[in-house]
Structure 1
Amino acid sequence: MSDPAPIADFLSHVHPYDSLPPAELTRVATAFIRKPMRAGDRIYSFGEPLDGLYVVQEGAVEVSDQSGNVVSLLGPRNSFGERGLSRDGYAATTADAKQDGAVLVLPPDEFRFMLDEHPSFRRFFDRSRPAETKRSDLATSRVSALMARDPITCPPGARVLDAAQLMKSHNVSCLGVTEQDRLVGIITTSDMVNRVLAAGLSGDVPVRQVMTPDPITLAPGALGTDILHVMIERRIGHLPVVEDGRMIGVVTQTDLTHFQALSSATLVQDIATALDARELADITARIPQLLVNLVASGNRHEVVTRLITDIGDACTRRLLALAEAKLGPPPVPYLWLACGSQGRQEQTGVSDQDNCLFLSDDMRPEHDAYFAALAKFVSDGLDVCGYFYCPGDMMATADRWRQPVRVWRDYFKTWVDKPDPMAQMLASVMFDLRPIGGDESLFSGLQAETLEMASKNSIFVAHMASNALKHTPPLGLLRGIATIRSGEHKNQLDMKHNGVVPVVDLGRIYALQGQITAANTRARLEAAEKAGVVSASGARDLLDAYDLIAQMRLEHQAGLVKAGKAPDNYLSPSALSDFERSHLRDAFVVVRTMQSAIGHGRAAPA
């Protein structure tokens, strides 16, 4: 058996082992088997039973798929083989030593034991979590997701009057009292009433005289249950959050109430009774915090984006109703449709608007003034609500995108028959259409007709496939992660255009090939597997890759919101652990492999 001491020391610097208690780390180190390797050695081959989970301790390992394509070049602290263990125990790849060194092998039974017993281990290695919606559970949410950041503080020698004015100017109910950046006390509005006014004290007394010294605190990693228990047992309404002696936030009873009250259903209910765009904007302004709550509660990306899109849909329908109330009933039936991320039900904390209007063929020229006014009312309202105007003017306010069904039918036929670059771009957008409000019969027949026509035109499909390859994963030399080289986002990854968009494009091609009516990317990938458009193994790999990329993007946005910043799509790889970067790189490799298959006229690798 290998000496566990150096193995334990090595693992203590490797995630997720670094999160294990010391005794458990020692125990699992004992279970590992150290195997030396020489450059050129075959560690395992595709389809063979796996000896366990591998961790590179020294040297380098090259991992390739069953077709011999290199998917990863792994150095020390990187793991491999977990995908096969998580499925059926057989290798899903081939691994060869590229440099002399050694690997550590964790036997299969021990690997499965660790998955069962340690949540951090399971979160890291198991990406097959159930897709059910989780509610925003206060009890199990982290304090870091609940607290107000950048707390307002004052020194202990400050006058009570100055402290009160500071609370008023910042609209807060408590101040942290700090000395040399360390928390020494807390003073609340209740203290001002009971210890100052009721006691007849002057506003000139120092804060240290009336503050609560050495208050009870919590760490950012504590749970909502810890907050509840402390507040109930100690009968307090404010809890400072402290890390390394420094106050980094505060949780109040009001914060807990807001967290519990904020849900997508609550926002949709409020939207249904809003009287104008300004009221709607006050409601949609709560979306970023909802995003934080949903991510903090462990919801998967497709659940979070669906719930956020539901709010955008409700907002659009409310604006349509308000428009009709102002303009009167429509002269002919109409249908408002969304495309882009809203059409695919994939909106995040950063979204513009992409929409169009289908009008009944009974429409006459004089009716357009009504629908132009309706489109302007709704698009202007959406802009006020934070769904900004489309830079490419892909909106119902443009005459071109507000037409009778017969014109739309001609649009699609022309794009399919003459697939020039502009036609490909427009077709890509319009294949993501989804009805939002109005007469849905105006679209249902046209959608099926267009899918059938497009799927049978091999030249059009080939052009669409070629167009789908314009967005590529950020992979560089030896398939390492390649960041943006210059500009505002230098050394960052664009998790939208180089992350989720390449998968979105693949999903759209599969939907076209299989005449799949779903607009949502994940639903398209699942349907493509069932329809035989993509091989089972290719679909599973792509779904896993998409889930990882999309989840990281959402978690990045939630982290920015918690830090008081606007959400964006630019992620710095330096903010990730070695393992996270390794998983992300592998996900990008999967996407690149699937793009390559499309480029060579295949649905997926065999």
Structure 2
Amino acid sequence: MTEELLPNIVSFLHAIPPFDRLPSKVLQKIAAQVDILWLDKGMPLNTQAEPPGCLYILRTGAVEQRHLDGTLRARLGAEDIFGFSLLHALKEQRVEYHTLALENTLLYRLAYAPLQDSISDYPQVLTQLALSAWRRLHSALNVQWSEQDKGIFFRLAGDVANRSIAIAAPHMSVQQVATLMSLEIRTSCAFIVNDKGTLIGMMTDKDMTKRVIAPGKDSQVPVTEVMTDNLHTVFEDELVMRAVSLMMSHNIRNIPVIDREFRPIGLLTPQQLIQKNSVQAIFLIEQISRAASIDALVNLTPVRQAIFETLLDGNVAPHIVGLVLTMIYDAVTRRLTELAIDYLGEAPCAWSWMAAGSHARHEVHLASDQDNALLLADSATATDRQWFSHFAMYVCKGLAACGYPLCEGRFMAATPAWCQRLTVWKDYYRKWASNPEYDGLLKLNVFIEIRHVAGDEALFATLDAWRQQVINHNPRLLKALLRNALKIRPPLGIFHNLVLEKDGNKEKILNIKRAAIHGVVDIVRLHALSAGIPQQNTEERIQALLQQCALNDASAQDMLGTWRYVTQLRYLHQSHALQRGEEADNSINPERFGSLERQHLKDAFRMLSGFQDAAKMAFGG
């Protein structure tokens, strides 16, 4: 390396991530380690003749990588970095892929070990250049947040709970418990525990009014006669967000916090959380539950967007963002069903409003449309179904007004086919699972994940048990779902401007949903169905597969890294679109990508391609 070339190399490194985070003195040290290689168009990079343990940076030109069987691995352009897999392969003395110059190409070669030494004091850069692709993707998520940033809802329930609680014994009278609550502890709630200290019930001041004072009940009866014994609780090591979810799902206001021995250690209430964190917009749910009309719900839509932007600004983990947006979606849906009943009168039979697709998986984003359905009791008559048709139309139109667009494929409760009795729904799943072809497979792909949102949960549980029975451990269904999952392969050939497809304005865009997100969802679902795992959320499925040893640690980490990165990329794109006054969607303008984003995308697409190939071997026969 001649001294004359050093300033030029330093200038180049200074302009590309992650080297742009390094001070000049470190860049000068790295530049001095660079070897310059030239490849004529059509010339291969003979990695076996190259010095061992090197990374390569493309200064100019383009290269193509192909697996040993000739299939495309990737195409790379200026500023791209490669060689990580070659370093892995070197340890096992094997060749991963061949590299060929598509144009006259100038490469910078860096020995990996000296490079690591040079950047050892800069952990953010070190992780961006880690050998493991999932570590590189994880570092790009930037999901580390401070206590102040992450807010109360992402802290442990035990750290936030009010520990000034009243503990009562089962033999105590209602009057004794009331005295304990009002005079001794001064709390609105008492926990009833057995002789082992295990929580068996709860009594609130509202329970006192409704169950004792209003009906004129004797205040000397044991508290166990009037207490609430069907409790929703959270463990002290769970997130406060879990308690918030229970409050919204079941319209309750007091959540006991217990230890792993089921002993009460504190209490969480909405009022307490609001007082401690008044700016947290998650309690939009409170406003939703009190909205008196569809117009009032529509007026809350900007607040939902503000919540989303706040979460993104705080670098909250992608799965938490999806959970929060899902909880808001659920709350709007639930309130619309209540308003519909106020308008139409009481429902003529038992029913369950079901979410499907990403809504069912707790993976809602700002561009999520409606995938929903209605489940009716088998007693429903033709007249009853007419009532539910009006009911479904009211709710679906209300959701559309609130920013949840109607499904283009009409997979909604307002469509007669998806407003059916239990027997019909069971027959749907039986046919789809036993003959998963063509139109049936499309419908199953929408409704393969379902979740109860409002109505009769016991009715839903009956259908859900049947659904799981027919879709789990079903080899024929797995093969059909695999064929469907392999119809769209990740765009391994991207480089330079990532030109993939054209939108309605004939502009070149990357559809992140089609290119990556659907692919990960489909592959993880295959593994979950094969293992009989009940979880529906993609991240929870991966964690459960790892716990059951249905995936090894390396595969699980790769899947998590890929899933989190592409999900975060979509959320960031939608957040930036809102800031620009544009529509939040899945279509990303590739002109806004830097070289590091391209590098991470290529890592993600390569790993997704690997997941698909592995699934083909596992489930394709």
**TM-score under structure 1 length normalisation:** 0.68
CA distance in 2, matches of 1:417, 1:271: 41
CA distance in 2, matches of 1:92, 1:318: 60
Q: Which residue of 1 aligns with 2:122?
A: 117
Contact kept, 8 Å, 2:145 with 2:316, in 1: the verdict is yes
CA distance in 2, matches of 1:68, 1:471: 19
CA distance in 2, matches of 1:545, 1:6: 35
Moved more, 581-590 or 77-86: 77-86
Q: Which residue of 2 aligns with 1:104?
A: 109
Contact kept, 8 Å, 2:473 with 2:529, in 1: the verdict is no
What amino acid maps onto 2:361 in structure 1? R
CA distance in 2, matches of 1:474, 1:59: 20
CA distance in 2, matches of 1:436, 1:92: 52
CA distance in 1, matches of 2:144, 2:285: 17
- Secondary structure, counterpart of 1:128 in structure 2: helix
Q: Which residue of 1 aligns with 2:214?
A: none
- Secondary structure, counterpart of 1:356 in structure 2: strand
- State which of 107, 128, 141 in structure 1 corresponds to 2:138: 128
- State which of 284, 292, 299 in structure 2 corresponds to 1:267: 284
Q: Which residue of 2 aligns with 1:520?
A: 537
Deviation per residue, 1:8-35 (Å, 9 max, x gap): 23312322222433344334445x4537
Contact kept, 8 Å, 2:59 with 2:79, in 1: the verdict is yes
Where do residues 158-173 of structure 1 align in structure 2 (5 Å cutoff)? none
Please, which runs of 5 or more residues in structure 1 have no aligned partner? 141-259
Deviation, 1:480, is 9.4
Q: Which residue of 1 aligns with 2:609?
A: 592
What amino acid maps onto 1:55 in structure 2? I
Q: Which residue of 1 aligns with 2:82?
A: 80
Deviation, 1:346, is 1.5
CA distance in 2, matches of 1:475, 1:451: 35
What amino acid maps onto 1:270 in structure 2? Q
Contact kept, 8 Å, 2:491 with 2:515, in 1: the verdict is yes
Q: Which residue of 1 aligns with 2:27?
A: 25
Q: Does 1:282 align with 2:294?
A: no
Deviation per residue, 1:248-296 (Å, 9 max, x gap): xxxxxxxxxxxx9664522222212211111111112222333222222
Deviation, 1:392, is 2.0
Change (3 A) 1:110 1:269: farther
- Secondary structure, counterpart of 2:453 in structure 1: strand
Change (3 A) 1:300 1:42: farther
CA distance in 2, matches of 1:478, 1:564: 29
CA distance in 1, matches of 2:117, 2:288: 47
Deviation, 1:423, is 0.5
Where do residues 515-594 of structure 1 align in structure 2 (5 Å cutoff)? 515-531=532-548, 533-534=550-551, 536-594=553-611
- State which of 376, 390, 396 in structure 2 corresponds to 1:379: 396
What amino acid maps onto 2:335 in structure 1? R
Q: Which residue of 2 aligns with 1:143?
A: none
Change (3 A) 1:63 1:437: same
Deviation per residue, 1:574-600 (Å, 9 max, x gap): 2111232232133223323333444x4
Deviation per residue, 1:158-212 (Å, 9 max, x gap): xxxxxxxxxxxxxxxxxxxxxxxxxxxxxxxxxxxxxxxxxxxxxxxxxxxxxxx
Deviation per residue, 1:367-400 (Å, 9 max, x gap): 3344333322322221211112222221112222
CA distance in 1, matches of 2:323, 2:93: 35
Contact kept, 8 Å, 2:375 with 2:425, in 1: the verdict is yes
Contact kept, 8 Å, 1:335 with 1:440, in 2: the verdict is yes
Q: Which residue of 2 aligns with 1:9?
A: 11
Deviation, 1:476, is 4.3
Change (3 A) 1:332 1:492: same
Moved more, 354-363 or 65-74: 65-74
CA distance in 2, matches of 1:504, 1:489: 28
CA distance in 2, matches of 1:135, 1:359: 47
CA distance in 1, matches of 2:318, 2:2: 41
- State which of 466, 471, 478 in structure 2 corresponds to 1:461: 478
Q: Which residue of 1 aligns with 2:165?
A: none
Q: Which residue of 1 aligns with 2:413?
A: 396
Moved more, 18-27 or 389-398: 18-27
Contact kept, 8 Å, 1:475 with 1:482, in 2: the verdict is no
Deviation, 1:354, is 1.3
CA distance in 1, matches of 2:118, 2:451: 45
CA distance in 2, matches of 1:113, 1:138: 32
Deviation per residue, 1:96-145 (Å, 9 max, x gap): 553586543254475387476364665686333599795896799xxxxx
CA distance in 2, matches of 1:273, 1:596: 50
Q: Which residue of 2 aligns with 1:411?
A: 428
Q: Which residue of 2 aligns with 1:602?
A: 618
Moved more, 452-461 or 413-422: 452-461
Deviation, 1:526, is 3.5
Give me the CA root mean square deviation. Answer: 4.0
Contact kept, 8 Å, 2:64 with 2:75, in 1: the verdict is yes
CA distance in 2, matches of 1:20, 1:573: 26
Deviation, 1:462, is 1.8
Change (3 A) 1:139 1:354: closer
Please, which runs of 5 or more residues in structure 2 have no aligned partner? 131-135, 152-276
Where do residues 351-390 of structure 1 align in structure 2 (5 Å cutoff)? 351-390=368-407
Deviation per residue, 1:473-532 (Å, 9 max, x gap): 334489994421474243111122233122222233233222222222232334344445
- Secondary structure, counterpart of 2:138 in structure 1: coil
Deviation, 1:456, is 4.4
CA distance in 2, matches of 1:95, 1:579: 22
CA distance in 1, matches of 2:608, 2:119: 29
Change (3 A) 1:312 1:112: farther
What amino acid maps onto 1:128 in structure 2? H
- State which of 353, 361, 376 in structure 2 corresponds to 1:336: 353
Change (3 A) 1:90 1:569: farther
Moved more, 338-347 or 518-527: 518-527
What percent of counterpart residues are identical?
27
Deviation, 1:5, is 4.1
CA distance in 2, matches of 1:530, 1:92: 31
Change (3 A) 1:445 1:27: farther
CA distance in 2, matches of 1:499, 1:441: 36
Q: Which residue of 1 aligns with 2:96?
A: 94
Q: Which residue of 2 aligns with 1:34?
A: 35
What amino acid maps onto 1:462 in structure 2? K
CA distance in 1, matches of 2:282, 2:294: 19
Contact kept, 8 Å, 1:475 with 1:588, in 2: the verdict is yes
- Secondary structure, counterpart of 1:127 in structure 2: helix
CA distance in 2, matches of 1:544, 1:93: 25
CA distance in 1, matches of 2:437, 2:510: 30
Change (3 A) 1:479 1:14: closer
CA distance in 1, matches of 2:26, 2:522: 44
Change (3 A) 1:359 1:98: same
CA distance in 1, matches of 2:501, 2:335: 40
CA distance in 2, matches of 1:385, 1:371: 21
CA distance in 2, matches of 1:452, 1:351: 28
